[in-house]
Chains A and B, each alone.
Chain A
Amino acid sequence: DAGVIQSPRHEVTEMGQEVTLRCKPISGHDYLFWYRQTMMRGLELLIYFNNNVPIDDSGMPEDRFSAKMPNASFSTLKIQPSEPRDSAVYFCASSQDRVGQPQHFGDGTRLSIL
């Protein structure tokens, strides 16, 4: 079975540019999560969706960050304008809509903002 698919795997861009990260969750999973991982702050939950609806975006650092889930098989995380401090690994994860189900993670996108 296909796991969570993220693209691109690596992104290098200059500050001020718009960055779009993409995620395809596992089919049949109703929850989708976006995380950011840095050495300083570890794994941080940015936002999560249930049935394509954003439930909690309290982890989104600034208005420069936005996330959408137009359908059950696709989500985007956008940063506009990007800044060097946004450099991190961004993970997408999905889980089934049953209590206690594990989250399954994509391979992550390593983002570098120059």
Chain B
Amino acid sequence: AQKVTQAQTEISVVEKEDVTLDCVYETRDTTYYLFWYKQPPSGELVFLIRRNSFDEQNEISGRYSWNFQKSTSSFNFTITASQVVDSAVYFCALTRNNAGNMLTFGGGTRLMVKP
């Protein structure tokens, strides 16, 4: 069985602070894919990034960076110099190497960035 845990249900920071959202996963598969999605207050779910289990390189996109560590089964997401527009619920998700790209979602972390 697969499982994704986002232990931080809610985080509050002040604008310009750095913040890291934790994601820990469980799977018996050797090949799998990890995702992050953003759900802003307007409600839509926006795909941010995908990482496959063979690629442990960290990725940076502007103020966003992702740290994938297979040894600890973690795929953490860091926002540098946070902005109010970053306020959203962020979901980490896992899919297997088959099964129609079905996603197992974590419970989400609500990030509030205060001005």
Separation in Å of the B29 CB from the closest CB of chain A?
11
A105 lies within 8 A of B44 (CB): yes
| Interface presence of A20 (CB below 8 A) | no
6 interchain pairs, CB-CB under 8 A:
A45-B102, A48-B100, A56-B102, A100-B95, A102-B47, A105-B45
Extra contacts besides A42-B105, A108-B43 (4): CB < 8 Å: A56-B100, A99-B101, A100-B52, A105-B47
B50 lies within 8 A of A107 (CB): no
B43 lies within 8 A of A102 (CB): no
Given A43-B91, A89-B43, A31-B101 contact (CB < 8 Å): yes
Give A76-114 as 1s and 0s: 1 = Cβ < 8 Å from B's Cβ atoms: 000000000000010101010001111111111010000
Identify A45's interface contact among B33, B35, B97, B103, CB under 8 A: B103
Given A31-B100, A48-B102, A55-B100, A103-B43 contact (CB < 8 Å): no
Residues in chain B within 8 A of chain A (CB atoms)? 33, 35, 37, 43-47, 50, 52, 91, 95, 97-98, 100-103, 105, 107-108
Name B48's closest neighbour in chain A (CB-CB).
Answer: A102
B50 lies within 8 A of A50 (CB): no
Given A31-B100, A50-B100, A42-B107 contact (CB < 8 Å): yes
**Count of chain A residues with a beta carbon within 8 Å of a chain B beta carbon:** 24
Residues of A within 8 Å of B45, CB to CB, are 91, 93, 105, 108
A68 to B95, CA, bound (A): 24
Name B42's closest neighbour in chain A (CB-CB).
Answer: A107
B91 lies within 8 A of A103 (CB): no
Residues of B within 8 Å of A106, CB to CB, are 44
A43 lies within 8 A of B105 (CB): yes
Name A91's closest neighbour in chain B (CB-CB).
Answer: B45
Identify A100's interface contact among B37, B46, B47, B50, CB under 8 A: B50
B44 lies within 8 A of A100 (CB): no
A103 lies within 8 A of B101 (CB): yes
A108 to B35, CA, bound (A): 20
A107 lies within 8 A of B101 (CB): no
Residues of A35-94 at the interface with B, using a CB-CB cut-off of 8 Å, are 42-43, 45, 48, 50, 55-56, 89, 91, 93
